[in-house]
Amino acid sequence: MSIDRRGFLKAGALAGGALGLGLTPRVGSSETPAPLTFTPDGVEQRPAPLRMLILGGTGFIGPAQVEYAIARGHTVTLFNRGRTNPSLFPNVEKLVGDRNAPNGYDALKGNRQWDVVIDNPTTYPRWVRGAADALAGRTKHYMYVSTISVFRDYSQPRMGEDGPLHEPGDPTATAMTPQGPASYGALKVRSEMDARERFGANVTVVRPGLIVGPGDLSDRFSYWPVRIEKGGEILSPGSPDDATQYVDARDLGEWMIRLAENRVFGTFNATGPATPTNMAQMLYGIKAVTSSDATFTWVDADFLQAQQVRGWTEMPVWQPGRGPTLGFMQIDCSKAYAAGLTFRPLADTARDTLAWYHTRPADQQAQLRAGIAPEKEKAVLAAWHARAKGG
């Protein structure tokens, strides 16, 4: 759900692994899956390579797509501004264009055909329309990365793809606002509509929840591994039983490549894990990959609200499990699971996120973009303990 997906990703080996790679039935297609061969490292390879155009590709989820697609024998072309991690993928064709510029799509014009176009960093509806105009009639499949922020009501758990959406946003918007027709969710709703209108039935809309893992500069998961590694008493939000959901960027990116291979169309909520997970399982699971002496003090939602501690930002990967946010971390993604979305263990995500964090510049390590400030955490814990002593 990151508004800015152009974050830095340190290049490195991305695990392929045999995680149900392409072995699930096709959804929305009657074709028989092609037989598979394997590369020496065990990654499945399709005998009929696809021509893939990835809009973006060097930010957060894009590199996982590129690495995985290449490993499976596909031909990849990237289209982006050439500003984010330009040294990544030196052997991959790169087309340069700025989607905000009047002639930003010129590099895409011509007669070239693409089997699939994956549109990663699109927030504004005019970007979808610009891509559609530049690629008119020259792709068999358009994949759009949306978000579960398209929903306007999270009061009910297990909400499927047909849940209530925001009113479609301003099609001419050039900047986002916190609310209204230029808000993130409203703009994504409009973008989904424009994608279906312009590309017809051959559209896949993927709605991730919180995307996590190495390379995420939002720190909206990284806070927890980093904080737990430091040890001591940790302010833990709400109840241990409060639900939580997230998806590793690598699992998301690799799954999208498999959707492209199988020509899977439709709309998919895409977060996890597949087995319902609560905050205690997540926090203790992260602790298990460290040698930390951390202890968790659970502070209820009412007290956090009184102390002006905000869910999601100061207490990442959490919203109160009640009222208007009861279903926020209980989105129904069974359709995506049936279409082959799989999840690596939390231990792998936590360990890899910590390893990546320790490669970041010192100023980024010292000042995370999410999570409660250390001094505020101490003050809230002190107030919580004082209340308990007061009876």
Check whether 309 has a pLDDT greater than 90: yes
- The residue ranges of every structural domain in the chain are 37-208
Check whether 27 has a pLDDT greater than 90: no
- 3-class SS at 379? helix
- The CA distance from 107 to 95, in Å, is 6
Buried b / exposed e over 111-150, threshold 16 CB at 10 Å, is: eeebbbbbbbbbbbbbbbbbbbebbeeebebbbbbbbbbb
Quote the DSSP letter at residue 166.
P
- Model pLDDT, residue 123: 86
- pLDDT mean over 109-129: 95
Q: What is the pTM of this model?
A: 0.88
- The CA distance from 263 to 70, in Å, is 18
- The CA distance from 137 to 132, in Å, is 9
- Model pLDDT, residue 158: 97
- Model pLDDT, residue 390: 77
Nearest-10 Cα torsion for 55, 57, 61, 63 = 160
Check whether 5 has a pLDDT greater than 70: no
Task: Quick: pLDDT tens for 28-81.
Answer: 333 333 444 545 555 666 658 999 999 999 999 999 999 999 999 999 999 999
Residue 97 pLDDT class (50, 70, 90 cuts): very high
Check whether 113 has a pLDDT greater than 80: yes
- The CA distance from 165 to 149, in Å, is 9
Which of 65, 78, 14 is CA-nearest to residue 259?
65
Residue 8 pLDDT class (50, 70, 90 cuts): very low
CATH of 37-208, one of 3.40.50.720, 3.30.43.10, 2.30.30.40, 3.20.20.70: 3.40.50.720
The two structure tokens encoding residue 17 = 């692994």
For the chain, what is the mean pLDDT? 90
